[in-house]
Amino acid sequence: MIEIDFTGKTVLVTGGAGFVGSNVVGRIVRTGGKVIVLDDLFTGDLTNIDQDIPYEFVEGSVTDYNLVRDLMTRVDYVVHLAARNIIISTKNPMEDYRTNIGGTLNILMAARETQPKGIVYSSSASIYGNPRILPIMEDEGPVTFSPYSVSKLAGENYCYAFYETFFVPVSVVRYSNIYGPKQNPSNPYCGVISKFIMSIDQGISPKVHGDGHQTRDFTYVDDAVDGTLMALLSPRADGMMFNIGSGAEISILDLVRNLNELMGKDVGCEHIDRRDIDNIRRRVLNIERARTRLRWQPRVTLREGLRRTIDWYYAIKKKTA
């Protein structure tokens, strides 16, 4: 297992005020590192970052090449998480292009000059579309159903090109439906689990798009952070992609049932029309490459992860009451 230790190292975390990014920032600082957060606060929020940890914040965008280059002269590693998410990307494909593709290219171009020890780029399982074989392996051919998946795949391809052509030490992690503490349900762009928890707590049936039999591979945020930082630190990860998931699938209906049970409620769910982004029927990732090459594996079961997320939700609710 790759030891996550950033003692004496400085890391640039793009999108560091977001859900995943703030968890990454906390882990790096608590393992001895210094962090520079670059975030335009479009969906990020500085309150996501634990207030008891030191970090440097720069408000700005990865679309600003000069800013990116200047920040990268000061760091040893880069965790590139900044992106427009799937909902925003579908509404505004041009902004998706500028941020997800152009911003990633800026990181890689700057890396040619600044020569960081490592970069990890966060991609998405959405690039797989509806796969032929489950669980999905990394060499499954991509099928891009949304502007978001197009841009994330383009970012991946730029990473591979810069690794092969310019020897930039970059690896790729493909996330699957990350959830957990700091995924604020009041954010209209957050994932379904936090939204479902808030609805159930309020006695409102969660809104399920379609029949609810679609499956997803939900990944607890701490496991995703581990996989990301292990890929960043491992020289065996350069030029490679890794699925980061739980390796287990669950239907949305079963997810709602689990949440109702854990929260002591019985509000069922309300079926509503599918959205234009609801075009993936089943998703579960094969995570053997990360297991064997990084010695990474998820440690938090879905049931335990849901319990932790519910506890966090109630703690925040009590704090803000």
Active-site residue set:
148
Which residues on adjacent β-strands are paired with residue 310?
A: none
Which residues on adjacent β-strands are paired with residue 271?
A: 208
Q: What mean pLDDT comes out for the span 171-188?
A: 91
Delineate the domains of the chain, giving CATH numbers in brackets: 10-179+220-246+286-299 (3.40.50.720), 192-214+249-283+305-320 (3.90.25.10)
Exposed, middle or buried, 202 (CB in 10 Å: 0-12/13-18/19+)? Answer: exposed
Distance CA 103, CA 18 (A): 16
- Over residues 34-64, the pLDDT tens digits come to 999 999 999 999 999 999 999 999 999 999 9
Taken in order 135, 137, 141, 143, the sign of the CA dihedral is positive
Asked if 118 contacts 111 with a C-beta cutoff of 8 angstroms, the reply is no
- Over residues 207-244, the pLDDT tens digits come to 998 999 999 999 999 999 999 999 999 999 999 999 99
Which residues on adjacent β-strands are paired with residue 49?
A: none
pTM: 0.95
pLDDT value, residue 287 = 98
